[in-house]
Copies of this chain bind each other. A is one copy, B any other.
Amino acid sequence: MSERTRRIPEATVARLPVYLRSLLGLAEDDKAATISSERLAELAGVNAAKVRKDLSYLGSYGTRGVGYDVEYLLFQMSRELGLTHDWPVVIVGVGNLGQALANYGGFTDRGFPIAALVDADPAKVGEMVHGIAVRHIDDLPAIADGAGIAIGIIATPAGAAQEVADRLVAAGITSILNFAPALVTVPAETSLRKVDLAVELQILSFYQQQRAGPRAGVTVARTS
């Protein structure tokens, strides 16, 4: 096995889950043992060459003239993504969004069981959500440690986001998904991703507005 520069581009990492889901999705009825890059590309909504290049980062798991063995590919992708075991998750902020996330079964199904819910509001502590008791955020270190939690989700108001992130980091959590519309900074060795719905809507608004026609006929002038 070559252990050479296996650095996988970020863009590729982001597509692997999509390939994974595409493969899981076909399963049953369309039970072919192998799949071509072209077919997978179609399922995932990308270009076939991109699929091949992406998969090549994992190793040479395809067979020329045939395609990729579906089962084996699934295994390798899961392994690479670290999905061979569960990653328990803690949700911070059991409000509107936090509860929706907690009640959603899709995470547990995909290997991300909700292991704990925490909140700063004493009124929420003790409440049961989806069979899990809400605990106080001060207990975070003990909770994270006890359950071996490595991933935290921030679902608090924006004002509390940075503080919550700091507490998550202090509790030993090294991967954070932030839903609050606020800039959060974490140490370099901590992963941080954000999901910002308002930004998504504003991006849609931009293109919508663009189409609506700010003075049609004005074409792009070459600028150089």
Chain A contact residue count (CB 8 A cutoff): 81
- Per the bound structure, the CA–CA distance linking A22 and B221 in Å amounts to 29
Which residues of the partner chain B approach A101 to less than 8 Å between Cβ atoms?
A: 197
Check A209 for interface membership: any CB of B closer than 8 A. yes
CB of A149 to closest CB in B, whole Å: 9
* Chain B proximity mask over A188-201: 1 for CB below 8 Å, otherwise 0: 01010101111111
Which of chain A's residues 184-224 have a Cβ closer than 8 Å to chain B? Answer: 185, 189, 191, 193, 195-212, 214-215, 218-224
Protomer copies: 2
From B16, B79, B191, contact of A204 by CB (8 A): B191
Q: Are B209 and A82 in contact (CB under 8 A)?
A: yes
Q: Which residue of B45, B82, B144, B207 contacts A185 across the interface (Cβ within 8 Å)?
A: B45
In the assembled complex, A6 has its CB within 8 A of some CB on chain B: yes
Q: Which 9 A-B pairs have the closest CB atoms?
A: A82-B209, A100-B100, A175-B204, A17-B202, A17-B199, A82-B205, A191-B207, A45-B183, A96-B100
Q: Are B208 and A175 in contact (CB under 8 A)?
A: yes
Interface core residue of A83, A112, A199 (most chain B CB under 10 Å) = A199
Centre residue among A6, A100, A107 by max chain B CB count within 10 A: A100
Q: Are B104 and A4 in contact, CB atoms less than 8 angstroms apart?
A: no
Q: Mind listing 28 A-B residue pairs with CB under 8 Å? A: A6-B223, A13-B203, A21-B181, A22-B183, A43-B183, A44-B183, A79-B218, A80-B209, A81-B206, A81-B209, A82-B205, A82-B206, A82-B208, A87-B201, A87-B204, A106-B197, A107-B198, A110-B198, A144-B224, A148-B220, A148-B224, A151-B208, A174-B211, A177-B200, A191-B204, A191-B208, A193-B204, A195-B195
CB distance from A16 to the nearest CB of B (A): 7
Q: Does A31 interact with chain B (Cβ within 8 Å)?
A: no
Interface residue ranges, A against B (CB under 8 Å): 3-8, 13-14, 16-18, 20-22, 43-45, 79-85, 87, 89, 96-97, 99-101, 103-104, 106-107, 110-112, 144-145, 148, 150-151, 172, 174-177, 181, 183, 185, 189, 191, 193, 195-212, 214-215, 218-224
